Amino acid sequence: MGKLVVIEGLDGAGKRTLAKALTDALTARGRKVATGAFPRYDEDVHADLVRDALHGRLGDLTDSVHGMAVLYALDRRGAADRLRQELADHDVVLLDRYVASNAAYGAARLRQGADGAFVEWVRAFEVDRFGVPVPDLQLLLRVPRAVAADRAAHRESAERRERDLYESDDDLQGRCASVYDGLAAAHWLSPWEVVDGTAEVRVEGLLDRHFTHWTP
């Protein structure tokens, strides 16, 4: 059985970049790795609805924190069987965002903390009710808010990609960073490691700490 490893962090923190570096390093060490990212845009209708909502195309649906969280959760529910199969066939399944994104962004929108009612609602909804696989390890890629915002802005111009409603809300990103810190400190759903994403991430250290003792 493979390990489910999740990378979490703010928009523009460098999650996609770290996922690629970790995948390359694990593969070089002979591990079989499957990768994925949530929301599954262009693959799942709920993810596509999320995108529409985040770009203001679904009216007041975006205003509902629980409504948005249900869409993200339905995307994961639809992926759960495939994730279980991938875990059976690989040593590591590495995900860019997962259930904790729902907890962090929703709690931040509601101005709650990691110990608040919304985070527990997400856990009960996604884990107890929908039965999505629980992570074995979550990595919080932590960068100062301004760095994440700069990187997101840089990517926006480089990839001609318009920033969505969450990405362009600086206060929300700030509150979200605090909830993430709380989730990591509480080891919510799994052990967490906080990774400093300010400079180049040293993936070899991460592998030594977390992956070498996992027998394929």
Ligand X SMILES: Cc1cn([C@H]2C[C@H](O)[C@@H](COP(=O)(O)OP(=O)(O)O)O2)c(=O)[nH]c1=O
Sheet of 137-142, strand order: 33-37, 92-96, 3-8, 137-142, 192-196
If DSSP states are collapsed to H, E and C, what string results for 161-175? CCCCCCCCCHHHHHH
Q: Where are the beta strands (DSSP E) in 27-165?
A: 33-37, 92-96, 137-142
Per-position x/- string for 175-204, each x denoting binding to ligand X as judged by CB under 6 A, each - no binding = ------------------------------
Q: Which amino acid is at 12?
A: G
Alpha-carbon distance 116 to 179, whole Å? Answer: 10
Nearer to ligand ADP, 29 or 155 (CB): 155
Near ligand ADP by CB under 6 A, which window of 8-16, 23-31, 53-61, 180-188?
8-16
Secondary structure of residue 2 in the 3-state scheme: coil
Which tokens sit at 133?
A: 């696989």
Nearer to ligand X, 90 or 151 (CB): 151
Find the Cα–Cα–Cα–Cα dihedral 157, 160, 165, 169, rounded to 10°. Answer: 0
Partner touching 105 among ligand X, ligand ADP, none, CB below 5 to 8 Å by kind: ligand X
Which tokens sit at 181?
A: 């810190």
- Out of 9, 14, 36, 39, the only residue in the binding site for ligand X (CB under 6 A) is 39
Partner touching 151 among ligand ADP, ligand X, none, CB below 5 to 8 Å by kind: ligand ADP
Partner touching 182 among ligand X, ligand ADP, none, CB below 5 to 8 Å by kind: none
Contact between 14 and ligand ADP per CB under 6 A:
yes
Partner touching 36 among ligand ADP, ligand X, none, CB below 5 to 8 Å by kind: none
- The region, left, alpha or beta by phi > 0 then psi within -120 to 50, assigned to residue 33 is beta
What is the sign of the dihedral through the CA atoms of 90, 94, 100 and 101? Answer: negative
Contact between 44 and ligand X per CB under 6 A:
no
Q: How many CB atoms lie within 10 A of CB 159?
A: 8
Contact between 15 and ligand ADP per CB under 6 A:
yes
Per-position x/- string for 79-118, each x denoting binding to ligand X as judged by CB under 6 A, each - no binding = ------------------x---xx--x-------------
Q: Residue 30 Cβ, how far from ligand ADP at the closest point, in Å? A: 25
Alpha-carbon distance 67 to 69, whole Å? Answer: 5
Under rule CB under 6 A, how many of the chain's residues touch ligand X? 11
- Out of 111, 154, 202, 209, the only residue in the binding site for ligand ADP (CB under 6 A) is 154
The site for ligand X (CB under 6 A) is made up of: 11, 38-39, 72, 97, 101-102, 105, 164, 166-167
